[in-house]
Amino acid sequence: MQCPYCDFEDTKVIDSRLSENKDAVRRRRECLSCGERFTTYERREPLRLMVLKRTGESEPFEREKFKAGLVKACAKRQVPEEEIEYIVDEVEAELRERRRHEVASRRLGDMALVRLRRLDMVAYLRFASVYRQYTDVDQFQSELVRLSGAVGAPAPEKPAAGKGGQ
């Protein structure tokens, strides 16, 4: 530990105890060169969440970037800003509870989709189209059919071929 008075590199710890709110270790130190005393606080660094991209690269989880994706998906929908903020809070809390520092971007996208599906189906489809990288209308169509079946809406019936024509 470097002395703040003379910049000497060596100090000794005189006293150690938990801080008043118990979120840090408070240490009284004495410089071995000038004899001055000073206090330091040691805090645990919060877990830095990393996102493992499809390319194999890792980048820090950026709350604002995640939120921006949700905001774009919910654009011009009747989705309150508080709902989007709640989703971001919920996802971030779930990630931190896992106590792993790395999460796959696929997992992050799935977590967003689950919550958007409950919130707004159009926002869900918008997010899914970017996240799942839809390239044509057929992919949208199959997702809509899948959603219609999951929501409970009956799929359109096709007339049976070869059964006594009317």
154: phi then psi, degrees, rounded to nearest 5: -70, 140
| Domain assignment present for 153 | no
In this predicted structure, what is the pLDDT of residue 153? 44
pLDDT at 164 over 60: no
| Residues 31 and 61 occupy one common structural domain | no
Print the domain residue range for 20: 11-42
| Residues 54 and 37 occupy one common structural domain | no
In this predicted structure, what is the pLDDT of residue 131? 79
- Render pLDDT for 15-60 as a digit per residue (tens, 0 to 9): 999 888 777 899 999 999 999 999 999 987 767 899 999 899 999 9
In this predicted structure, what is the pLDDT of residue 150? 59
Structural domains in the chain (count): 2
| Residues 60 and 127 occupy one common structural domain | yes
| Residues 97 and 32 occupy one common structural domain | no
| Residues 126 and 86 occupy one common structural domain | yes
| Residues 18 and 87 occupy one common structural domain | no
| Domain assignment present for 166 | no
User: CB–CB of 40/1 below 8 Å?
Assistant: yes
| Residues 124 and 75 occupy one common structural domain | yes
| Residues 74 and 30 occupy one common structural domain | no
| Residues 35 and 66 occupy one common structural domain | no
pLDDT at 161 over 80: no
Q: Hey, how many other C-beta atoms are within 10 angstroms of the C-beta on 50? A: 15
Structure confidence at residue 142 as a pLDDT band (50, 70, 90): confident
| Residues 54 and 35 occupy one common structural domain | no
| Domain assignment present for 110 | yes
How far is it, in rounded angstroms, from Cα 28 to Cα 137? 67
